[in-house]
Amino acid sequence: MTDTAPLLSVRNLQTRFRTDGGEVHAVDGVSFDIRPGQTVALVGESGCGKSVTSLSIMRLLPARAARIAGGEILLNGENLATATEQRMRRVRGNDISMIFQEPMTSLNPVLTIGRQIAETLELHEGLTRREAGEKAIHLLASVQIPEPKRRAAEYPHELSGGMRQRVMIAIAIACSPKLLIADEPTTALDVTIQAQILDLLADLKERTNMAMLFITHDLGVVAEIADHVVVMYAGRKIEEAPVADLYARPRHPYTAGLFGALPVLGSSAGGQTDRLNEIPGSVPSLRSPASHCTFAPRCPRSTDLCRAEVPPLAGQGAGHLAACFHPEPDQKGGTA
């Protein structure tokens, strides 16, 4: 897969928000590639810039409050960062689609499920109302919704959370996009439904060779869905690796801290989980560009060098990068 040309290349992406206190550097120089058929997980705690990165790719940032200040978003070589809004309307849905975290805020409460899927097909594929309605039922079946014809006539509030998320997936794949962006698609679901949604996404990827950008704060689900992982902190990429290598050898102290915060069943007497390790401190302000390692105030390995300079991304093995002057020793960090 590494020999395949990237479908999407994000290069030195810089996204800023205007606030009364000055500009916030929400995404600060992030770069990564996604190849056809590959799933890349974008991982980090809330506020690290994951969702802003995805909205930048889709060009769905609020125009009055945010802007792409630099970098490139190359889709098959075309720079979406400078594309017109007219061009982006054709890209969205046809080439790149997105599943949002909470379907109830994305689905129209006064339109039936079938009508909402059909509208996408009529707009992007030029189908008649009848053709679009028939395909909408087929799409509901493809995302494993039982009795799809009956469900197509129902409204969002009549469906469970898991079914609403399946509807969002059906809308997203309606026009066979090359890239699917899934922004925390399982966060609001219980663990059983979460596993079903992950299995569905993996099955769709295998059947269609669709690439996926999977955004999550939960390292526990990454091994089930991703081929490659990008870890973000305070708007910057701090580690990147193939999923198995990251789980076996997390090199950045922040990544190691995320693994340390995962519950491990049976890790103490009686099969109970041990007390979870926490990362002390909080994410720093993003109102100015980084002039040092932003994780240094929370890092047990930090030195004066870390508090004075920004560490460059350095190789830690084949395809493994970490931005750290004092990376973690080569030891096992998790189980893929």
Instruction: Answer for the pair 264, 273: CB distance below 8 angstroms, yes or no.
Output: yes
Per-residue pLDDT tens digits for 52-70: 999 999 999 998 999 999 9
pTM, entire model: 0.91
Nearest to residue 157, comparing CAs of 99, 104, 91, 98?
104
Q: Tell me: pLDDT of 336 over 70.
A: no
Per-residue pLDDT tens digits for 143-200: 999 999 999 999 999 999 899 999 999 999 999 999 999 999 887 788 888 899 999 9
How far is the C-alpha of 79 from the C-alpha of 105, rounded, in Å?
30
Q: Which of 98-102, 133-137, 257-261 has the highest mean pLDDT?
A: 133-137
pLDDT of residue 334: 46
Q: How would you write 66-96 as a 3-class SS string? A: EEEEEEEEEECCEEHHHCCHHHHHHHHHHCE
The overall average pLDDT reported for the chain is 90
Per-residue pLDDT tens digits for 262-297: 776 555 555 555 566 788 888 888 887 788 999 999
pLDDT of residue 103: 79
Model confidence at 335, pLDDT cuts 50, 70, 90, reads very low
Q: Tell me: pLDDT of 230 over 80.
A: yes
Model confidence at 221, pLDDT cuts 50, 70, 90, reads confident
Q: Tell me: pLDDT of 124 over 80.
A: yes
Sequence ranges of the domains in the chain = 96-176
How far is the C-alpha of 189 from the C-alpha of 182, rounded, in Å?
14
- Which of the two residues, 6 and 334, has the higher pLDDT score? 6
pLDDT of residue 333: 46
How far is the C-alpha of 277 from the C-alpha of 259, rounded, in Å?
9
